[in-house]
Each structure stands twice: as structure tokens, then as C-alpha cells.
């Protein structure tokens, strides 16, 4: 991926649209991004990362949330547009962020565009506008995730050092993001969950087993048996328990068989006693019934005379029953005649009343007919008055309009006077404000001069403070140098003494090997004098080499301190030279001057704020004055129009008033007259309608009542004739039945229910007497002279045998219940044993696999970390290819085998091998510049590794944010050479730095300049 053009709108410190055209670099593939702190250098990296991935570059910055510029106007949307080239194709990506405008409750303006540019034409890459689809497509095109992109393309401030100096856990998180090894971590976590679940299941099985054992103890009666011997043991074997339960099952099955035999015998005894009791009880009941029948027969025979009387009364009642219909007919005819006579009397009275009402209604009707002409005159008068009435309303409405117009006209006149006075006041206020503006403008004219002067003083103060810091460092290193000189001199003396002794020792060793008569290999002499005994002072080559190594190390440390002292002297001289070019004053004076300039600048800024407020107030006053002038003009026009309208209304009111009748001065008088006349005519019409209705009703009622009276007289005559016939027929029937007179007939007559009761009583008597005779005749042979059985003795015997039977049943039920419980417990124990065995096997495999993957081993390395170690080894190998030449062959990175503290997982820590000392040490012991070089090489190594790992990835760009300021001149030159070599492969490299040597060495610079208002602009500077 290679950027071509970047446009940022309302993004960070860039208020408007800031466009960076990377084609202006021409053949310069490496450039420096320079500018003041906070100007927006890193924001350029943020813009590229935001366009591609929807978030900014640095980890500390990506949670900032709002990248919208504080300087942007409300109508300008925040957006980033990037034109870039990848794999020979050109693309344009735009991301626009919505924001809540003033007066709105929700954000608007979200927008994304992603197109391919072919021959100047833009072709959409996606049909969908969803951000998720866009992000996935861009990640697929670039071939890197955001985390991978940050590690090999964009190296944000401080972040690319994390892989170098962080512990194994942090490196694991970084490598997990880059190489996508989280699936192995997830697999380990899933195994952990399965392990926990398996342990829970094992605990549940064990608890269930204990519950089974307790259930056996609670359920089975205690006896001497195998199962209770197992239960008494401390360790209760489930296999032994199962065998014991099987033995218990067999015991209780045999016990059930013997108890069943005893139960069957007892049932036969109870059945025999029960039959004996039933026979005795039945005989006693039948004997009691026989005795009771004889007593009841005697009682019935004593009622024979009463029963004969009831028979006679029923016979007389049956005769009278045939005459009742004739009697009923006679009585009905008599009641009908009385009813008709009463109705005839009522109709005669109604006829008289209806005639009287008809006469009264006719008189009232005739009276209304005479007054009809006057009613018509009144109605004609109402029509005339109602025609005139609207004229009054029109005059009243016109008078109201005139009154309102007059009030408005007077108000306009007052407003014209008031606004004229207010405009005069505003004019005077504007004059005063303009005077104050002139004074403040003069006071703020020196802002640029003071600002520039303070910037120079700030730079000088910074350099002076750096020089003071260098002096402190110099003092400390000079003390260390003194100690190093003493150590070096002592090491030299020690080495010289050992060297002399070693030479003497070599001569002694040679002399010891000489043989008389044989030539010396040194001098050739065959005569050898006896040497002194030097065994006590023999020095080996190893001793000499150790002393030499110690001397060289002391010398190297001394040279290192001398080099640092020379470097600090140079830095102090450089800072002092730059300070002297500006001023000869000391740091206290400069600090005082800095405070004074800050106070002066603060005062000028306050005056500028006041001036802005005054300008806003003055502009507001001018607007108010202009609006007031326009309003006065409008009021004058409206006042003239209102005056004309008032005159027209007055003329129209006079014309309408002339048309009104003179007899009614006011509308109310006419309305009162209309109301009275309407009331009069309405009452007449209502009363006349009522009179006509009453007349018609009275006529109808009179005719109807007379017709009904005539018909009723005929009905009465017919009823009298029917009554005489019914009376004769009733008397004849009474005599025919044998009754002497009506009184005898009446006393013999009974109600139907009384006759039914007598018949039922006679029938019941006959049936009871017959049944008793039959029962007594049948029981004579069986019960005469017989005694009752003694049931109490038989009952006691039955109760005793029944209790014995119940006990037998309870015994066998308990035994059967125990047998079933034992069978159930056996089944549960066997099933539990099978589940436990299967679970133990499965849980053991899960725990072993989890321990293997999670790093529970001597090296504390998980499976995921084992894979990450391989990636890290390849990264280290690629990094060392650059670090060795960059450090003059002194340093080489290596993976540390040491365990992390507190027993944590290890394997990803880094050491550095120092070829000067021949020792390995932690990378955290490197100086700041050395750490930067190592981090840079590690980042470049990771870049090579990821590109080889992702074969289709083409990264033609790299951005580095800060770090070069920690390098000395030689290290800086080598770092630049490394990046120059890298850009020869075709990569574009951008570096954020304040280091002057870097800007002088690299010809292309992207200058980010912050304006005095606070927002920034960019510009390419090509030397």
C-alpha cells in the first residue's frame, strides 16, 4: 500500500480541508515530518489509519473517541479521504463522521465511499454501504489487520518498543493479534471449562454415591450380614456394597416366601370365624322381625272400626263428585252476570263525561277561529322587523372596527416616538464602542512581535536547561571516570606482573623438560644448569588471559566514559553556542524575561478577547439600529394607511345609520319588540293546535263510549238467561244422586286430594295386614320357642384373628418394600459405578490435554506460546540482520529461556548478547538510543516476517513516529543508512522527528505549521 493523496477535513488540529499530495516528493522516497509539539504531525498517521481501518493509529489515541476538530464550524463535517495504490491498482476511500449540529438532537452526516480509479473513472468497489462490509473489504485488499498494519506500516509513538521491552504476557497479546493465534487460547479456555465441568460432575457422582450409602444405612434394618460389615468399614467399596445388597435381596426374598405361607393360613382362619359371625347375626335379625310382626298385627286389628267409617265417607264423596261440574257451571254463570252488570254501569258514567268534554272543546275551538285574522297581521309585522334587524349589526361591526383601528393608530404613533428615541441612544452607544475599539486595537498590535520574541526566549530557555542537565550528567560521569582510571591502572599493573610471572613460568617449564646431552630448543646448548624451584609462582595461560580480559574491560569502560564526556562537552558547547548567538544573559534572567513576556502576551490575548467582544457588540448594535430604522419606515407607512381606513369607516357608518327606522333608536329596542311579538304568535299557534287536538279527541271518545254502552246492555240480558238454565239443571242433579237437599250434598263433598288420601290409607291398611299374616305363618316353624345367639363372644374371637391377619400383612408388605428398595438401590449403584468409570476416563483425558495446552510444564510454556516462540525466533533472526551492523557488531537479540517471576508463563522474553563483554543481559538494560535501534530492527524484522507469512501482502510504505532524538551522531547516521537501504527496495518512509541532523540529512521535509489561532497547515519542502 502506497499513499498518493491524503485529505483531512475538520480532523484534529486541521480546521478546514488539509490536502497532502505525496506525489510532490517526486523521487524522494524518504522524508521527515517536522513541526512544533501539538501541531498535528502524528495526526497525519492517524488520518491514514482512520481512512483504512476506521480508527486512529496509536493505542493510547484510538480511545480518544472524538477526532473532530475543535476549530471546525458547525456546518463542516469531519472526514478523511485517501487515494492510494496497491497491487498496481489505484483506489479512493472516504470516511465522513456525523455530528450533532446546533438545534438538533441526533447526529447527521455519516458517509463512506470506496471506489477504484480506472482511466480517470471511479468504479464503486462495494454495492453495500455498511461500514462492516467496507472494513472487511479493505482488510482483505490490504492483507493486514489493523494490529498488523500498526506493527509493519505505522509505528506510533512508543508502541513499537512494546514488543522489545514488554514481558512474556504482553508479547503474547501482541503476537496473538498479529499472527491470529487466539484460536489456540480459545481452545485452551474451552478445555478449561470442560475440565471444570468434569470436576463438578465427578464431585456430583461422589456426592450421589455417599447419598446411596446413607440411604442403605437408613433403609435396611440392622442385622448380621455382609452389607453391614462393608458399611462399618472406613472405605466403603462400591463393588462390595453391590455384592452385600445382592445377598440382602436373596435373604428378603426367602423371608417373603415364608411370610406368605403364614398369611395364607391366617386368612383361612379369619374367613371361618367371619362366616360363623354372619350366620348368628342374620338369625338374630330374623327372630326380632318375627316377634315385631306379631305385635304389629295386633295393633292393626284394633283399628278396624275406624277403617269402616273411612270406607263409608269415601262412598258418599264419590256420589257428590259427579254433581260438582253442574255446581261449578251455575256459579260461573252467576259471576259472569255480576261482572257484565258492573261494566254496564261504568260505561253509562263514561258516556255522560265524554259528552260534557266534547261541548267544552267545541267552545274553545270556535273562539280561536275568531282570532285568526289578528294572528296573520302579527306574522306580517315580524317579517318586516327581521328584514331591518341585520342593518343594526352591520353598523355595530363597523363601529367596532373603527374603534380598533383608532387604538392601533394611536399605538403606532407612540411606537414611532419611542423607537426614534431608542435609535438616538443606540447611535451614541455605537460612538462610545468605536472609541474603545480603537484603543484596544492599538494595545494588540504588538502581539506578533511579543509572540515571536517569546518563542525565541522559550527556545533559548529550553537549550539552557538542556545545557544545565548535560553539566550535571558530565559531573557524574567525570566521577565515574576517575574510579575507572584507578581500576584500569590497577588492572595494568596486575597484568604486567602476571605476564612476567607467566614468562618465567614458561622458562621453568622448558627447563624442566631439558635432558643432559640433548640440545636446548632455545639456545642449542647441551649443558644445562640446574634451575631454581619456581613451582609456587607458576602462572597458567588461563590466568594471564583472565587478567588481560579484566584489563581490556577496564580500558573499554574508561574509553566509554571518555567518549561520553567528550560527547557531553560537545553537546554543552553546541547549546552554549546557540544561546550566545541569541543572548549573553544567564538562565535566571532568561526565566524572568520568559515570565514577563508570558504575562505581556496573556494581557494582549485578553485585550484581543475584549476587542472581539466589543466588535461583536458593535456589530450587534449596528444591526439593531438598522432594524429599528426599517421598522420606523414601516410604521410610518402603516400609520398613513390606518388614517385613511379610519376616514372610510366613519363615512360608511353614517350611510348605514340613515337606513335604520326612526321609531327604534337602538337595535335592542327592535330586538325586544320582535321577541315580544314572536312570543305572542308562538303562544297563539301552540294553544290553537292544542284546542283542535282536544276537540277531535273528545268527538272520537263520545262516539266510541255510546257504541260500547249499547253492546254491553245486550250482553247483560243474555247472561241472565244462561244463569236461570244452569240453576235448574244443578238442582235436578242433586235430587237424582239421592241427596235430600243441597246441605246434605255440601257436607258429603270432599276435595280430590282428601279422597286420594282416604283411598291410600285403606289400601295401605289392607296390604300391611296381609303381609303380617304371611310373615307370621311362614316363621312359626323356624322361630317359635327359639333363643338368640351371643354375638359378643363371636365378635371378640373375630377381632383377635383379624388383628393377627393385619400383622401378617404388615410383615410381608415391609419385606416386599425392602426387597424393592434393595433392587432399586442395586440398579442405582450399578448405574452410578458405570457412569463414574466413564467419567473418570473422560475427565482424566481432558485434564491431561488441558495441562498440556495451558503450559503446566517445567518451562511454563503453553501450546499457543510454543507457536508464538517460532514466530518470534524468525522475527529475531530477521531483526539481527539489521541490528549487528547498526550497533557496530556489538549487539544481537536472542530469546530468553529464563522463567518469568511469580511462576508465570515464560518463553517470550528478550535478551541482548553483547559481543564486547561476551554476556547476555535483559534488553531493558539498553540505553534509550540502543533500545530505539533494537526496537526499529525488531519492527523491520516483524515487517519482513509478516510479509513472508502473508505472501500476497505488498507494503510499499512505512511511517515511524519519534525516537531518533535518543541517538548519538554515529548511531543516527547508521539508523538513517538502514532506512535509506530500506527505501531502496521501493518503500516510501516517513519519519516524525525534531532532530536537526535528520532534517539536514534527508532532503524532503513535510512541514506542519501551527497558526496563532491554533489550527495547522502542511507544506512539502524539497531541497
Rounded distance between C-alpha atoms, residue 110 and residue 215, angstroms = 70
Q: Give yes or no for residue 90 having a pLDDT over 90.
A: yes
Q: Which three cell numbers mark 500? A: 612476567
Q: What is the pLDDT of residues 292-326, one digit of tens each?
A: 888 888 888 788 888 888 888 788 788 777 777 87
**For residue 8, what pLDDT band results from cuts at 50, 70 and 90?**
very high
DSSP-assigned letter for residue 954: -
Rounded distance between C-alpha atoms, residue 654 and residue 403, angstroms = 15
Q: What is the pLDDT of residues 673-702, one digit of tens each?
A: 878 878 888 888 888 888 888 878 888 887
Question: Is 891 exposed, middle or buried, given 0-12, 13-18 or 19+ CB atoms closer than 10 A?
Answer: buried
Helix (H) or strand (E) holding 366: helix 324-370
Rounded distance between C-alpha atoms, residue 414 and residue 655, angstroms = 32
Q: What is the pLDDT of residues 766-802, one digit of tens each?
A: 888 888 888 778 877 777 777 777 888 888 888 888 8
Q: Give yes or no for residue 343 having a pLDDT over 80.
A: yes
Q: Among positive and negative, which fits the CA dihedral 103, 104, 105, 106? A: negative
Report the percentage of the chain scoring pLDDT > 90: 4
- Give the residue among 569, 567, 566, 589 at the shortest CA–CA distance from 577: 569
- Beta pairing class for 154-155 and 957-961: parallel
pLDDT on residue 202:
78
pLDDT on residue 59:
52
Q: Which residue has the cell 261440574?
A: 325
Q: CB of 955 within 8 A of CB of 947? A: yes
Angle at 448 between CA 444 and CA 450, to 5 degrees: 85
CA quadruple 739, 741, 746, 750: dihedral, nearest 10:
0
Could you give the 3-state DSSP secondary structure of residue 446?
coil
Q: CB of 235 within 8 A of CB of 210? A: no
- Give the residue among 907, 908, 995, 985 at the shortest CA–CA distance from 943: 985
Q: Give yes or no for residue 97 having a pLDDT over 60.
A: yes
Task: State mean pLDDT over 365-370.
Answer: 79
pLDDT on residue 532:
47
Q: What share of the chain is helix, strand, coil (3-state, %, to 5)?
A: 70, 10, 20
- Give the residue among 901, 917, 900, 918 at the shortest CA–CA distance from 909: 900
Q: Which residue has the cell 564526556?
A: 565
User: What's the whole-model pTM score?
Assistant: 0.41
Q: CB of 929 within 8 A of CB of 967? A: yes
Could you give the 3-state DSSP secondary structure of residue 787?
coil
How large is the angle between the packed helices 863-886 and 928-949, nearest 10 degrees?
A: 120
Q: What is the pLDDT of residues 518-550, one digit of tens each?
A: 666 555 566 655 554 544 456 777 787 888 888
- Beta pairing class for 30-35 and 1004-1010: parallel
CB atoms closer than 10 angstroms to residue 546: 13
- Give the residue among 277, 266, 261, 276 at the shortest CA–CA distance from 806: 266
CB atoms closer than 10 angstroms to residue 156: 23
- Give the residue among 216, 227, 251 at the shortest CA–CA distance from 828: 216
DSSP-assigned letter for residue 1: -
Q: Among positive and negative, which fits the CA dihedral 517, 518, 519, 521? A: negative
Q: CB of 122 within 8 A of CB of 91? A: no
Rounded distance between C-alpha atoms, residue 545 and residue 564, angstroms = 28
- Give the residue among 858, 877, 855 at the shortest CA–CA distance from 866: 855
Sheet of strand 910-914: strand arrangement: 891-895, 910-914, 919-922
CB atoms closer than 10 angstroms to residue 614: 17
pLDDT on residue 536:
45
Residues in the chain: 1023
Q: Which residue has the cell 636446548?
A: 520
Average pLDDT, the chain: 80
CA distances from 260 to 16, 24, 800, 805, 812 (A): 106, 113, 20, 11, 7
Helix (H) or strand (E) holding 971: helix 969-983
Rounded distance between C-alpha atoms, residue 150 and residue 146, angstroms = 6
Rounded distance between C-alpha atoms, residue 409 and residue 419, angstroms = 15
Rounded distance between C-alpha atoms, residue 1000 and residue 1013, angstroms = 29
Rounded distance between C-alpha atoms, residue 972 and residue 995, angstroms = 10
CA distances from 423 to 338, 413, 432, 625, 630 (A): 113, 16, 15, 6, 11
Q: Give yes or no for residue 859 having a pLDDT over 50.
A: yes
Q: In the chain, what are the domains? A: 2-143 (3.40.50.300), 296-313+730-784 (no CATH)
Q: Which residues of 301-327 are buried (b: 16+ CB within 10 A; e: fewer)?
A: eeeeeeeeeeeeebebbeebeebeebb
**For residue 64, what pLDDT band results from cuts at 50, 70 and 90?**
very low
Amino acid at each position: 500500500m502506497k499513499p498518493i493523496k491524503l485529505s483531512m477535513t475538520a480532523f484534529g488540529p486541521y480546521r478546514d480541508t488539509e490536502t497532502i499530495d505525496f506525489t510532490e516528493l517526486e523521487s524522494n522516497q524518504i522524508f521527515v515530518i517536522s513541526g512544533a509539539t501539538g501541531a498535528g504531525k502524528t495526526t497525519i498517521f492517524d488520518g491514514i489509519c482512520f481512512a483504512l481501518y476506521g480508527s486512529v493509529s496509536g493505542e493510547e489515541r484510538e480511545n480518544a473517541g472524538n477526532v473532530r476538530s475543535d476549530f471546525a464550524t458547525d456546518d463542516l463535517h469531519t472526514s478523511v479521504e485517501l487515494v492510494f495504490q496497491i497491487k498496481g491498482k489505484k483506489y479512493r476511500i472516504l470516511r465522513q463522521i456525523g455530528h450533532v449540529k446546533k438545534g438538533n438532537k441526533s447526529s447527521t452526516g455519516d458517509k463512506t465511499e470506496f471506489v477504484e480509479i480506472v482511466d480517470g473513472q471511479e468504479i464503486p468497489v462495494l454495492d453495500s454501504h455498511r461500514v462492516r462490509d467496507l472494513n472487511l473489504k479493505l482488510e482483505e485488499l490490504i492483507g493486514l489487520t489493523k494490529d498488523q498494519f500498526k506493527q509493519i506500516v505505522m509505528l506510533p509513538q512508543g508502541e513499537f518498543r512494546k514488543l522489545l521491552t514488554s514481558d512474556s504476557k504482553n508479547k503474547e497479546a501482541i503476537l496473538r493479534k498479529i499472527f491470529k493465534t487466539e484460536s489456540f487460547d480459545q481452545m485452551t479456555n474451552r478445555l478449561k471449562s470442560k475440565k471444570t465441568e468434569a470436576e463438578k460432575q465427578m464431585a456430583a457422582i461422589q456426592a450421589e454415591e455417599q447419598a446411596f450409602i446413607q440411604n442403605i444405612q437408613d433403609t435396611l434394618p440392622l442385622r448380621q450380614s455382609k452389607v453391614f460389615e462393608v458399611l462399618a468399614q472406613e472405605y466403603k467399596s462400591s463393588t462390595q456394597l453391590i455384592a452385600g445388597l445382592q445377598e440382602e435381596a436373596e435373604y428378603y426374598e426367602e423371608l417373603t416366601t415364608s411370610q406368605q405361607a403364614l398369611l395364607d393360613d391366617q386368612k383361612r382362619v379369619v374367613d371361618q370365624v367371619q362366616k360363623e359371625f354372619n350366620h348368628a347375626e342374620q338369625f338374630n335379625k330374623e327372630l326380632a322381625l318375627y316377634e315385631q310382626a306379631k305385635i304389629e298385627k295386633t295393633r292393626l286389628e284394633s283399628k278396624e272400626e275406624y277403617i269402616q267409617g273411612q270406607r263409608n265417607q269415601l262412598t258418599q264423596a264419590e256420589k257428590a263428585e259427579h254433581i260438582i261440574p253442574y255446581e261449578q257451571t251455575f256459579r260461573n254463570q252467576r259471576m259472569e252476570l255480576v261482572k257484565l252488570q258492573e261494566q254496564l254501569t261504568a260505561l253509562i258514567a263514561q258516556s255522560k263525561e265524554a259528552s260534557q268534554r266534547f261541548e267544552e272543546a267545541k267552545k274553545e275551538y270556535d273562539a280561536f277561529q275568531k282570532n285568526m285574522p289578528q294572528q296573520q297581521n302579527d306574522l306580517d309585522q315580524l317579517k318586516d322587523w327581521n328584514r331591518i334587524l341585520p342593518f343594526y349589526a352591520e353598523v355595530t361591526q363597523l363601529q367596532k372596527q373603527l374603534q380598533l383601528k383608532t387604538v392601533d393608530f394611536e399605538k403606532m404613533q407612540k411606537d414611532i416616538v419611542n423607537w426614534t428615541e431608542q435609535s438616538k441612544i443606540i447611535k451614541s452607544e455605537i460612538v462610545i464602542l468605536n472609541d474603545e475599539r480603537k484603543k484596544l486595537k492599538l494595545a494588540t498590535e504588538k502581539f506578533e512581535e511579543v509572540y515571536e520574541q517569546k518563542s525565541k526566549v522559550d527556545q533559548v530557555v529550553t537549550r539552557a536547561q538542556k545545557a544545565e542537565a548535560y553539566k550535571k550528567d558530565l559531573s557524574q560521569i567525570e566521577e565515574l571516570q576517575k574510579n575507572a582510571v584507578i581500576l584500569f591502572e590497577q588492572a595494568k599493573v596486575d597484568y604486567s606482573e602476571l605476564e612476567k610471572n607467566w614468562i618465567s613460568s614458561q622458562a621453568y617449564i622448558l627447563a624442566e623438560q631439558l635432558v643432559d646431552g640433548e640440545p636446548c630448543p632455545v639456545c642449542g646448548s647441551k649443558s644445562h644448569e640446574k634451575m631454581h624451584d619456581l613451582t609456587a609462582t607458576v602462572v597458567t595461560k588461563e590466568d594471564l588471559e583472565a587478567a588481560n580480559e579484566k584489563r581490556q574491560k577496564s580500558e573499554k569502560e574508561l574509553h566509554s566514559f571518555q567518549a561520553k564526556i567528550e560527547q557531553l562537552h560537545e553537546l554543552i558547547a553546541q547549546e552554549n553556542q546557540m544561546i550566545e548567538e541569541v543572548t549573553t544573559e544567564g538562565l535566571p534572567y532568561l526565566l524572568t524575561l520568559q515570565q514577563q513576556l508570558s504575562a505581556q502576551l496573556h494581557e494582549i490575548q485578553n485585550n484581543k478577547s475584549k476587542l472581539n467582544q466589543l466588535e461583536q457588540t458593535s456589530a450587534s448594535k449596528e444591526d439593531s439600529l438598522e432594524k429599528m430604522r426599517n421598522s420606523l419606515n414601516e410604521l410610518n407607512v402603516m400609520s398613513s394607511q390606518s388614517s385613511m381606513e379610519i376616514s372610510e369607516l366613519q363615512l360608511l357608518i353614517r350611510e348605514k345609520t340613515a337606513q335604520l327606522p326612526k321609531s327604534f333608536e337602538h337595535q335592542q329596542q327592535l330586538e325586544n319588540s320582535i321577541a315580544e311579538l314572536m312570543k305572542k304568535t308562538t303562544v297563539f299557534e301552540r294553544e290553537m293546535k292544542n284546542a283542535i287536538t282536544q276537540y277531535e279527541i273528545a268527538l272520537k271518545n263520545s262516539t266510541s263510549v255510546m257504541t260500547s254502552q249499547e253492546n254491553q246492555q245486550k250482553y247483560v240480558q243474555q247472561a241472565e238467561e244462561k244463569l236461570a238454565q244452569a240453576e235448574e239443571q244443578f238442582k235436578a242433579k242433586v235430587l237424582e244422586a239421592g241427596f235430600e237437599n243441597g246441605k246434605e250434598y255440601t257436607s258429603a263433598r270432599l276435595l280430590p286430594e282428601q279422597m286420594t288420601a282416604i283411598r291410600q290409607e285403606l289400601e295401605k291398611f289392607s296390604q300391611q295386614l296381609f303381609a303380617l299374616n304371611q310373615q307370621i305363618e311362614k316363621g312359626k316353624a323356624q322361630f317359635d320357642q327359639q333363643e338368640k345367639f351371643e354375638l359378643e363372644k363371636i365378635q371378640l374371637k373375630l377381632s383377635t384373628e383379624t388383628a393377627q391377619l393385619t400383622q401378617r400383612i404388615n410383615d410381608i408388605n415391609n419385606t416386599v418394600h425392602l426387597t424393592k428398595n434393595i433392587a432399586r438401590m442395586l440398579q442405582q449403584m450399578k448405574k452410578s459405578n458405570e457412569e463414574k468409570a466413564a467419567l473418570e476416563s473422560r475427565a482424566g483425558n481432558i485434564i491431561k490435554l488441558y495441562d498440556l495446552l495451558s503450559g503446566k510444564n517445567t518451562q511454563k510454556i503453553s501450546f499457543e506460546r510454543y507457536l508464538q516462540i517460532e514466530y518470534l525466533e524468525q522475527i529475531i533472526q530477521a531483526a539481527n540482520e539489521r541490528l549487528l551492523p547498526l550497533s557496530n557488531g556489538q549487539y544481537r537479540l536472542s530469546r530468553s529461556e529464563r522463567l518469568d517471576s511469580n511462576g508465570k508463563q515464560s518463553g517470550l522474553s528478550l535478551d541482548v548478547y553483547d559481543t564486547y563483554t561476551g554476556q547476555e543481559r535483559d534488553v531493558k538494560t539498553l540505553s534509550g538510543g540502543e533500545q530505539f535501534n533494537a526496537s526499529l530492527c525488531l519492527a523491520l524484522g516483524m515487517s519482513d516476517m509478516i510479509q513472508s507469512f502473508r505472501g500476497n501482502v505488498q507494503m510499499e510504505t512505512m511511517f515511524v513516529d519519534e525516537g531518533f532524538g535518543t541517538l548519538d551522531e554515529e548511531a543516527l547516521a547508521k539508523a538513517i543508512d538502514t532506512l535509506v537501504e530500506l527505501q531502496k527496495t521501493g518503500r516510501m518512509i516517513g519519519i516524525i522527528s525534531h532532530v536537526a541532523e535528520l532534517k539536514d540529512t534527508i532532503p524532503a521535509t513535510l512541514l506542519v505549521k501551527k497558526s496563532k489561532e491554533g489550527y495547522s497547515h502542511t507544506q512539502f519542502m524539497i531541497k
